[in-house]
Amino acid sequence: MRLFDRAVVRVLPAVPRSVVRRIAAPYIAGETLDDARRVVGELNAAGVRATVDVLGEDVSRPEEAEAIARAYHDALAAIEAERLDANVSIKLTGLGLELDKALCRTLVEAVVDDGAKRGIFVRIDMEDSSTTDDTLDLYRALRAAGRDNVGVVLQAALRRTLDDIATLADLQPSVRLCKGIYVEPPSVAFQEPDVVRRSFVACLDVLLDAGCRVGIATHDEWLLDQALERVAGLDDGAYELQMLLGVRADRGRALVAAGHPLRVYVPYGLRWYEYSLRRLQENPKVAGYVARDMLGRIVPGGESA
């Protein structure tokens, strides 16, 4: 399986853009806000919450960061107007973190304040480890300024995460806990899948014990089993399960049917190609999963290849 996954990753740059678009279609809402609203409405009708992400990272000019911020304000207005059960997720690099930290903070504060005015939560995504300190510093600053409709993401693969939880515990933060998809050196991140899984469970235990509200973001069946054991008896204000759009949708429906709160990550925007390649290249397992899924749609039984 690993050889197949890596083979898929190696050929991705040579795959025509139109083919990548077809492969990515189930996992991206589309290019426009209308696409995102449609998908979120469909999810809500099935009892699933959503978080909306405007695609656009690695901006090179302040104007690009400001355009992404405007797109988030539009998304917040649409969520409120249509009474969608959704929040938004933002990436600091898309809002200018690596261009101008002051600009980034100004844009983030405006998005968070707009969300507060509309009663909508804003999640700050975590990116590669070079941005971790800046991300957590900005999160702490937002909370210190009295902004409570904001949460953060922590990655179980990073060696530092248990220490980060300890430093954040007094805030009782709303945390999305995920494995982490970024390629990091061994000095920074655990490399073995089983070690990452054990770290995920350890982080989840500490977060729940600290009274944090946890978004448990995983498609890993073993981790889902571990998480379900730990949240048994908790009300849905204490946790929710989180998945990516188009990934293990059947499992997601089963979790909702069993009474668990589920939120699905809904990305949209013109930068779908860059997002798709990055997501697939940085996580060979996801690339292999998508390839097997596509093969299964074309050739009966192909998903077991």
Q: How many CA atoms lie within 13 A of 159 on its CB side?
A: 9
CA atoms 122, 128, 132, 135: torsion sign: negative
Q: What whole-number distance in Å separates Cα of residue 204 and Cα of residue 226?
A: 10
Identity of the residue numbered 267: P
Q: How far apart are CA 196 and CA 177, in angstroms?
A: 12
Query: Diameter of the chain by CA atoms?
Result: 56
Contact yes or no for 99/64 (Cβ under 8 A): no
Q: How far apart are CA 289 and CA 241, in angstroms?
A: 20
DSSP type of residue 28 = S
Amino acid at 13: P
Burial of 225 (0-12, 13-18, 19+ CB in 10 A): exposed
Identify whether 6 is a catalytic site residue: no
The active-site residue, picked from 5, 53, 114, 125, is 125
- Catalytic, 297? Answer no
- C-alpha 154/C-alpha 179 separation (Å) is 8
- CB neighbours of residue 209 within 10 Å: 11
Q: What is the Cα–Cα distance from 99 to 74, expressed in whole angstroms?
A: 23
From the candidates 49, 176, 248, 271, give the one annotated as an active-site residue.
176
Active site residues: 125, 176
